[in-house]
Amino acid sequence: MAQRNWFALCLAILLGIPAGLAAQQIAGTWKGEQTLHRGTQTINLESTYIFKVDGNNFTGLLINRSDRRDIVDGVIAGNDITFSTRNPFVPDAALQNFKGTLDGDKLTVVVVQTIAPPGYPDAVGRGPRRPPVPVELHRISSDTVYHAPPELQHSPLAPFVTLPPNGLALTPPMGWNSWNKFRALVDDKGVRAAADAMVSSGMKAAGYVYVNIDDTWEGTRDAQGNIQANSKFPDMKALAAYVHSRGLKLGIYSSPGPKTCAGYEGSFGHEEQDARTYAAWGIDYLKYDWCSAGLVYSADEMKPAYEKMALALRATGRPIVFSLCQYGDLDVGSWGFAAGGNLWRTTGDISDNYASMTRIGFGQNGREGAAGPGHWNDPDMLEVGNGGMNDDEYRTHFSLWSLLAAPLLAGNDLSAMKPDIRDILTNRAVIAVDQDKLGRQGTRVAQSGDTEIWLRHLASGNAVGLFNRSEQPQSMSVRWSDIGVARPRHILDLWSNKSVPPADSMTVTVAPHGVVLVRVN
Ligand code: GLA
C-alpha cells in the first residue's frame, strides 16, 4: 500500500475517525480474478478496477476482457462502497450497479443490478440473469492512471473528415448473412450451399446479391501480419471465385478492435493490410463490428476509427460496401455516411422472436432523416425462416423492414427453406417497396392501442402498412386524407396480390401480430 494511504489511515486512527476513512483506502488500481463455470466450460476472467477517490465519493475505470467502462457515482460509507458502470459510448445509461466491502487489503465487489440498454424497456431493472459471483480484488498499485498495455496502444488517428460517397448501395443491400442461423458453425461448405440456394430458390432473381460471412472465419496472422482464415475456410479466394461464378458477391466481417465479438482476431493495427487482403481475395462487402474496440479507443475515436477502415477499403480500388456495426451508439446516423459507411446498425442484436423483432422494427421511427441512396439505417438482419415466429409475424418483419428501407439480409438456412418462407423472402412487390429508388425511409403515421400505420413515399405512389400488434384479429381503417395521401386510383394488397377497390378510406381485418401491406397509386 502506498505511503500516502498508510499516512491517511494512521491520521484517521489518531484523530479518532476509524470507520469511513478506512474505506478511502480503495484509491488505486486493483486486480480481480474470477473463475466462471458455464456448463462444461471453465472461464477465467481478469478485470482491472481503477478508483479515483474524492472525499467519500469516487469515479474510475473498469477494464474487462473486451471493454472499458467508466465507474461513476461511487460512494464510500464506512467499509462499504457502491458504484455504477457506464459504457462510455452510451454515456447517459448505467450498465450495472455494484456494491463492495473492504476487509483489510481485500475488496470484494458484486453486481447487484444489470440495466438493460436503452430501447429495451421490458428488461429494465431486471437483476442479473445468473446469480452474481462476487469478485475479490487485490490492490496492485496506488496509481489511478490507466496505462494501456503496449499491444493495445496506437498512434493518433487521422482527424475525422467528411468522405465523399463511394457510390455503392444506392438501394439497401440485399443478400444473406451466416450469423443468425449458423453462428460459429459457418464454413466454406455452408457458404457455397447458401450461394447455390440463393440461385435455385429464386432469391437471386428477386434481387439478393451478397453472401456474407459473419464472425468466426478468422484464423491467426502469418509472420508478415497477414490475416488468414481458420480451418473452416481453406481457400477464401477460391470461395470468392465460386460465389462470383454464381453471379453473386461475397461479404466478410471484422472489428476495429483487437478481437471480434466472438473472440476472434480483429483488424486493430492491421486495417490497411486487412483491406488489401480482402480485396485480393475478391471480397465485396465488409461488416465492421465494434466489439472490443472500446478497449483501445475512446468515444471521440469511434468516428475516425471507422473512417480509417473506410479509407483503407477505398485505397484498394475495389468497390466494397462498408457496413458499420456499433449498435447505434453516439448517434451514428448523423456521421455514419460521412465516415464512409453505406449502412449502420441502429440497435443491439435481433433475436428470432416477435418481441425482439417488433421492439427493434417499430423503434426505428424518427431515424428516417439519416437514410437515403448509398446510406441506410440497419435494424439488423432478418430472422425470417428461423422458426421462432409464425408466418404472419415473419410477414410483419419483412413488411416493416421494407417500409424502413432496411437492408434485406436473410439470416436463415437457405438450403433447407420451406416454400412459405421462400415466398415471403421473394415477394417481389414487397421487395420493390424496400428497393424503391427514391430511398426514403417510412415513418409511423398513426397509432392506436395495439395498431400502427406506417407510410413510405415511393418514387411512384406510396406503401402503407397496417400492423396489428395484438393477439386478436383487428379491424383497421385508414382514411387516406388523414395520412396525407391523395385518394388513390389503384390499391394493391402486396401479400394477397389482390386489388382493393379504391375509396376515401380502406378497412381491412389484420391477423394477430400480422400486417396488411398495400401499395397505393
Ligand atoms: C455482434 C453483432 C452480431 C454478430 C456478432 C458476431 O453481436 O451485433 O450481428 O455479428 O457480433 O460475433
- Where does a domain end: 99, 127, 145? 145
Catalytic residue among 289, 352, 380, 413: 289
Which pLDDT band holds residue 17 (cuts at 50, 70, 90)? Answer: very low
d(CA 386, CA 306): 31
Greater confidence, 80 or 125? 80
Note whether 229 and 361 are same-domain residues: yes
Domain membership of residue 104 (yes or no) is yes
Tens digit of pLDDT for each residue in 245-290?
999 999 999 999 999 999 999 999 999 999 999 999 999 999 999 9
Q: Per-residue pLDDT for 43 more than 90?
A: no
**CB contact at 8 A, 403 and 463:** yes
Domain membership of residue 200 (yes or no) is yes
Q: What is the CATH number of the domain that holds 66?
A: 2.40.128.30
Strand-pair category, 343-345 with 498-499: unpaired
Range of the domain at 400: 173-434
Note whether 426 and 457 are same-domain residues: no
Atom 1 of ligand 1, nearest CA residue: 261
**CB contact at 8 A, 145 and 52:** no
CA of 414 to the centre of ligand 1 (A): 20
Ligand 1 within 6 A of CB of 215 = yes
Atom of ligand 1 nearest to the CA of 327: 8
**Sequence-distant (≥ 6) Cβ neighbours of residue 149 within 8 angstroms:** none
Which pLDDT band holds residue 114 (cuts at 50, 70, 90)? Answer: confident
Atom of ligand 1 nearest to the CA of 345: 8
d(CA 223, CA 206): 44
pTM of the model: 0.94
Q: What is the CATH number of the domain that holds 513?
A: 2.60.40.1180
Catalytic residue among 70, 73, 196, 349: 349
Note whether 111 and 260 are same-domain residues: no
CA of 256 to the centre of ligand 1 (A): 13
- Where does a domain end: 409, 434, 459? 434
Ligand 1 within 6 A of CB of 179 = yes
What's the mean per-residue pLDDT of the chain?
94
Note whether 300 and 206 are same-domain residues: yes
Note whether 197 and 232 are same-domain residues: yes
Distances (CA, A) of 301 to 54, 60, 261, 289, 296: 28, 20, 19, 15, 9
Our answer to whether residue 122 is catalytic in this structure is no
Domain membership of residue 471 (yes or no) is yes
Least confident of 104-118, 317-331, 378-392, 441-455: 104-118
Atom of ligand 1 nearest to the CA of 262: 12
Domain membership of residue 362 (yes or no) is yes
Pocket test for ligand 1, best of 292, 344, 349 (most atoms within 8 A of CB): 349
Q: What is the CATH number of the domain that holds 379?
A: 3.20.20.70
Note whether 195 and 338 are same-domain residues: yes
Ramachandran angles phi, psi of 446, nearest 5°: -160, 150
Note whether 464 and 354 are same-domain residues: no
Note whether 270 and 346 are same-domain residues: yes
Please, what's the largest Cα pairwise distance for the chain? 91
Tens digit of pLDDT for each residue in 462-500?
999 999 999 999 999 999 999 999 999 999 999 999 999
Our answer to whether residue 349 is catalytic in this structure is yes
Give the count of domains, the chain. Answer: 3
Note whether 134 and 225 are same-domain residues: no
- Where does a domain end: 408, 434, 460? 434
Domain membership of residue 352 (yes or no) is yes
CA of 292 to the centre of ligand 1 (A): 12
DSSP letter for each residue of 20-57: TGGGGGG-EEEEEEEEEEETTEEEEEEEEEEEEEETTE
Atom of ligand 1 nearest to the CA of 348: 8
Domain membership of residue 151 (yes or no) is no
Domain membership of residue 210 (yes or no) is yes
Note whether 388 and 423 are same-domain residues: yes
CA of 203 to the centre of ligand 1 (A): 24
